[in-house]
Amino acid sequence: MQKLYILLFPLLLLSCKTNPPTQPISLKTGEVKIEITLVDDNTISSERTVLLEDFANVSCNPCVTSNKIIQSLVHSYGSDKIVAVKFPTNFPSPVDPFYLAGKEFCDYRMSYYNILFAPTIILDGLIKPNAIDSNAIKDNLNTRLTVPSDFKITVTKTINNGGLFIKIDIKVKNKSSLNLAELFLRNVIVESDIEFEQAPGSNGETKFFDVLRMLSPNNEGIPLSTLNSTNTFEYENVIDTVWNLNKLEAVAFIQSSVNKSVYQAGSTF
């Protein structure tokens, strides 16, 4: 079993070591630590968890409809079938508070998919159904759920002493048939539930779900090929004091650098 330990404390690489830290991993207030393991396991099932990426804005009127559709799907299907991440946009309002808080990460994902309007929904990196057509989204979701996956991702979290520990366990079968250098693990820290007394934008919404807070350890993610050896990476990043630590969750997914297809997703939900 190979392990990659990542210490996140706004994204300055401090050092790179070849040995993992001594267990157990201790946490400090405001720290985020991530441990990643990759193992071969030809016995895992081929069931898929679909990643739904939602590009939205607090002043986007159609986003009210798409947000209701997404929440309905998440609740009816469950986190073992679908996991959603909201990437705030800078349009129609450039002062969306969620976008301003995560500008670096949001700009990267918008550029990655060439997002031009909100709302935009992308399923597994490939499919862009009409974001306010619940039937189209559901039909495409059901289609993706029938596509087998060679990966299983299990994500867990621990909150201790004001810090957050995320553990990502990846199992892969048919490893020899995959080009791991073309597959990247990306991890998103989201805040699951954020509510305002007054709407922060013009569309009247006061409650928001699964909002991106950071991509970790970086925008590009980690090539799975690097998980064939044991490394320790240390980054400087902290949990913002305005975030609710108890509502921070992790969404991990494996994505192709060739066609942007998401092979598998997992979360702490």
CATH number at residue 252: 3.40.30.10
pLDDT tens by residue, 168-178: 999 999 888 89
pLDDT tens by residue, 134-150: 999 999 999 999 999 99
Q: Give the ranges where the chain is alpha helix by DSSP (H).
A: 62-77, 97-101, 103-113, 134-145
- The 3-state DSSP class for residue 53 equals strand
pLDDT band (50, 70, 90) for residue 237: low
pLDDT band (50, 70, 90) for residue 233: very low
| Owning domain of residue 172 | 2-267
- Predicted pLDDT at 239: 83
Beta strands of 103-230 (E only): which ranges?
A: 120-123, 151-160, 163-172, 183-195, 207-216, 222-223
pLDDT tens by residue, 68-99: 999 999 999 999 999 999 999 999 999 999 99
Domains identified in the chain, total number: 1
Is 60 exceeded by the pLDDT of residue 219? Answer: yes
pLDDT band (50, 70, 90) for residue 25: low
- Predicted pLDDT at 16: 33
- Helix or strand holding residue 17 (H, E): strand 12-17
Give the range among 195-204, 224-233, 252-261 with minimum mean pLDDT. 224-233
Beta bridge partners of 60: none
The arithmetic mean of pLDDT across residues 213-239, rounded, is: 73
Is 70 exceeded by the pLDDT of residue 192? Answer: yes
Is 90 exceeded by the pLDDT of residue 7? Answer: no
d(CA 79, CA 99): 25
